[in-house]
Amino acid sequence: MTESSGSKLLNGEACQRTLRGKNAGKNGFVKNHCVFEHPRKYRRPTERSQNAAPNSSLYKKPFSESFEETPLLVAVLTYMGYGILTIFGYFRDFLRHWNIEKCHIAHEREQQKDFVPLYQDFENFYTRNLYMRIRDNWNRPICSVPGAKVDLVERVTHNYNWTFEHTGKVVKDVINMGSYNYLGFAENTGACASAAIETTHAYGVGVASTRCEIGNLDIHEELEQLVARFLGVESSMAFGMGFATNSMNIPPLTGKGCLILSDELNHASLVLGARLSGSTIRVFKHNNMQSLEKLLRDAIAHGQPRTHRPWKKILIVVEGIYSMEGSIVRLPEVIALKKRYKAYLYLDEAHSIGALGPNGRGVVDYFGLDPKDVDIMMGTFTKSFGAAGGYIGGRKELIDYLRCHSHSALYATSMSPPVAQQIISSMKIIMGEDGSTLGKDRLRQLSENTTYFRRKLREMGFIIYGNDDSPVVPLMLYMPAKIGAFGREMLKRNIGTVVVGFPATPIIESRARFCVSAAHTREMLDTALRAISEVGDLLQLKYSRRERPLSTPGWTYEESLLQD
Amino acid sequence: MYFKNFREYLSWLYFQYLLITGIYVLEPWEKSIFNSILFSAIAMVVYTSYVFIPIHLRLALEFFHEIFGGQPESTMTLMN
């Protein structure tokens, strides 16, 4: 009896082993007991739609996020366009090299001609020959508060964007679809502004010292306590610079012998921080929990490379809202994985804090989770609060440790008091502690605007990326010439947009990115949508091949008929 | 898209051509270089096809006629 069962077991194991050997083709392949099932492997992904989440039980409400596939013809034409522009780029570089035309941009000096060339790599080529041609769409100088509407300084160029001249005129009341002003706190009037002015009178603009030395003011303590209460964590810490909050606080947390699992689309500050820390970095596919789980399992099973010692710490680094894709992190699943594999979680809420959730408390609030499940809550005050700087929230031990070890706490000057006051006032408004419902109204307005704007764009037939609830709305443009044309045509219609091209996105996935704000009224959004639809027809941007809902002919068609 | 007249339609088509090829962002002299190269290439293709395709067609027809055509009587000539 025992013998037979034993042999059975052995046979079974042997069988398994051979099977595994055949399948995986290498030893030490980790057994498959994953929390999240792998999808069928050889399915052709016609659409990266994530409507049917494999773990919908973890979500309290539907999580619908979609990335429509690039139409093949569009992809081919995009590559062709880049090809043509590259040929002309080489032609112009040839002319510059033989001094047939003057080079307006930094180039190799005559005296250094035998040194290593400095301006030869692809990025320089791209800047010289592709970016410069449509440079008028970026870095537009403004001369008013960047609220819902903004005034632009008019500028002209006489030499194809190499230099600009200001005409002295101002383009008034451009609808601002580009600022991360989610809750509309970028104002120069109102409660926040007057509180900041009062604080300036009381404290001045700064004390020019670090928090550790003589730069610590009571307003900073107040801010930190408020942030901790707002987030629902034990303790928090504020920094004067959002980028440095990420890049300088990951290094004290992890080091040699630690592993960082980072989303492939994480912001540059997180990437920099992870690299500075000296830990091993492994990158998982964007918002792909199967990929993350596989990396976690491999990390635990194999340990560090060569020595095979276990990793000291495993830190998962994700963002709340990804600013280029408009997607929201699958936080319930990340937390489930983190708990199961005993890893730590670093959540960057730069875009999501204030913009998501019924109480504006970010992605944790949006999913209705416990903030204590996230080990390190990071975020910035730059976006929703209309201020500057960043924070880190978490357990008291963590914050005390960071106070002593973080470079941005030890060496950076403390936050300017008026900025701190702006954050305190706006945060209190969001929390409803000012005794009004202004904050609630703004949150409601933002979520209504987001839903409305996304729905309308989708109905018009544009390819829109991201989650339905995310206020970052990327609209796909694809072709290089359309990046320039879209920005210019929208500005002609008095709407300021952000267009994004190569270094920030993959080379064929150029896009325009709209940021919906609570400050936008329905009329502004309608004006913007009308203009977008018009430009979309002009530039043929309505690529989507999804079936559009038939029941809503809506105002867009009627109006476009009237206009034409 | 609705157009008032044919001319507007043509200008829209030209705009689409500019956008898709990417030459929208080029300077005018570069545009004219691209256009002249492209159109001369097209013109050459058209011209060569006009000149050579009839000849090739005729040759091909003759060739296939020889293969699939009926047995010519001349092969059965008497040998005396």
> A193-252: per-residue pLDDT in tens?
999 999 999 999 988 899 888 889 999 999 999 999 999 999 999 999 999 999 999 999
- pLDDT at position A442 is 93
- pLDDT at position A48 is 47
* Residue A353, pLDDT above cutoff 80: yes
Question: Nearest chain A Cα to B38, which residue?
Answer: A84
The answer to whether B76 contacts chain A (CB < 8 Å) is: no
- Domain residue extents for chain B: 25-68
A33, two tokens? 């007991």
Q: Do B16 and A537 touch (CB under 8 A)?
A: no
Q: Please report residues of A whose CB lies closer than 8 A to that of B24.
A: 481, 484-485
Instruction: For residue A108, name the pLDDT band (cuts at 50, 70, 90).
Output: confident
Q: What is the pLDDT of residues A37-57, one digit of tens each?
A: 555 444 444 444 444 455 667
Q: Do A88 and B1 touch (CB under 8 A)?
A: no
Partner A, chain B 27-66, Cβ-Cβ below 8 Å: 27, 30, 34
The answer to whether A146 contacts chain B (CB < 8 Å) is: no
Range from A115-129, A289-303, A464-478 carrying the lowest mean pLDDT: A115-129
CA A443/CA A517 separation, integer angstroms: 10
A160 → closest Cβ in B12, B24, B27:
B27
To the nearest whole number, what is the mean pLDDT of chain B? Answer: 87
Q: Please report residues of B whose CB lies closer than 8 A to that of A85.
A: 22, 25-26
* Residue A541, pLDDT above cutoff 70: yes
Count CA atoms within 13 Å of residue A540 on its CB side: 12
* Residue A1, pLDDT above cutoff 90: no
Instruction: For residue A34, name the pLDDT band (cuts at 50, 70, 90).
Output: low
CA A263/CA A260 separation, integer angstroms: 10
- Alpha helices per DSSP H over A389-501: 396-405, 407-410, 417-431, 438-460, 480-492
- pLDDT at position A31 is 54
This complex has an ipTM of 0.81
CA-based nearest distance B10→chain A, Å: 13
- pLDDT at position A435 is 87
DSSP H or E stretch at residue A14: helix A2-24
CA A150/CA A181 separation, integer angstroms: 12
- pLDDT at position B75 is 59
Q: What are phi and psi of A413, to 5 degrees?
A: -70, 155
Q: Please report residues of B whose CB lies closer than 8 A to that of A485.
A: 19, 24
Q: Do B2 and A160 touch (CB under 8 A)?
A: no
Q: Do A160 and B19 touch (CB under 8 A)?
A: no
CA A425/CA A3 separation, integer angstroms: 76
Mean pLDDT of A255-263: 94
Q: What is the pLDDT of residues A278-324, one digit of tens each?
A: 999 999 999 999 999 999 999 999 999 999 999 999 999 999 999 99
Q: Please report residues of B whose CB lies closer than 8 A to that of A480.
A: 22, 25
The answer to whether A73 contacts chain B (CB < 8 Å) is: no
DSSP H or E stretch at residue A172: strand A165-176
CA-based nearest distance A537→chain B, Å: 7
* Residue B67, pLDDT above cutoff 80: yes
What contacts A35, CB < 8 A, 6 or more positions away?
A293, A336, A337, A340
- pLDDT at position A113 is 81
Q: Please report residues of A whose CB lies closer than 8 A to that of B21.
A: 80-81, 84, 481
Select the residue from A129, A488, A502, A540 to test the B interface by mutation, using most B Cβ atoms within 10 A. Answer: A540
Which CA distances in Å does A507 have to A78, A79, A323?
9, 9, 17
For residues A461 and A544, is the Cβ–Cβ distance under 8 A? yes
For residues A483 and A476, is the Cβ–Cβ distance under 8 A? no
Percent of the residues in chain A that have a pLDDT greater than 90, as a whole number = 71
- pLDDT at position A33 is 63
Select the residue from B2, B8, B11, B24 to test the A interface by mutation, using most A Cβ atoms within 10 A. Answer: B24
Percent of the residues in chain A that have a pLDDT greater than 70, as a whole number = 87
Q: What are phi and psi of A546, to 5 degrees?
A: -75, 155
Question: Which DSSP letter does residue A214 get?
Answer: T
Q: Please report residues of A whose CB lies closer than 8 A to that of B15.
A: 538
* Residue B51, pLDDT above cutoff 50: yes
Instruction: For residue B2, name the pLDDT band (cuts at 50, 70, 90).
Output: confident
To the nearest whole number, what is the mean pLDDT of chain A? Answer: 86
- pLDDT at position A37 is 57
Q: Do B22 and A540 touch (CB under 8 A)?
A: no
What contacts A44, CB < 8 A, 6 or more positions away?
none
B22 → closest Cβ in A84, A538, A540:
A84
Q: Do B23 and A130 touch (CB under 8 A)?
A: no
* Residue A158, pLDDT above cutoff 60: yes
Mean pLDDT of B50-74: 84
- pLDDT at position B32 is 95
Question: How many beta-carbon pairs under 8 angstroms link A with B?
Answer: 52
Instruction: Please give the residue that has the higher pLDDT: either A487 or A60.
Output: A487
B22 → closest Cβ in A81, A540, A561:
A81
- pLDDT at position A409 is 84
Q: What is the pLDDT of residues A411-461, one digit of tens each?
A: 889 999 999 999 999 999 999 998 889 999 999 999 999 999 999 999 999
Instruction: For residue A329, name the pLDDT band (cuts at 50, 70, 90).
Output: very high
Q: What is the pLDDT of residues A357-393, one digit of tens each?
A: 999 999 999 999 999 999 999 999 999 999 999 999 9
Q: Please report residues of A whose CB lies closer than 8 A to that of B22.
A: 80-82, 84-85, 479-481
Catalytic residues of A: 323, 351, 383
* Residue A153, pLDDT above cutoff 60: yes
Q: Do A484 and B22 touch (CB under 8 A)?
A: no
Question: Which domains, ranges and CATH numbers included, belong to chain A?
Answer: 70-176+440-564 (3.90.1150.10), 191-431 (3.40.640.10)
Question: Nearest chain B Cα to A486, which residue?
Answer: B19
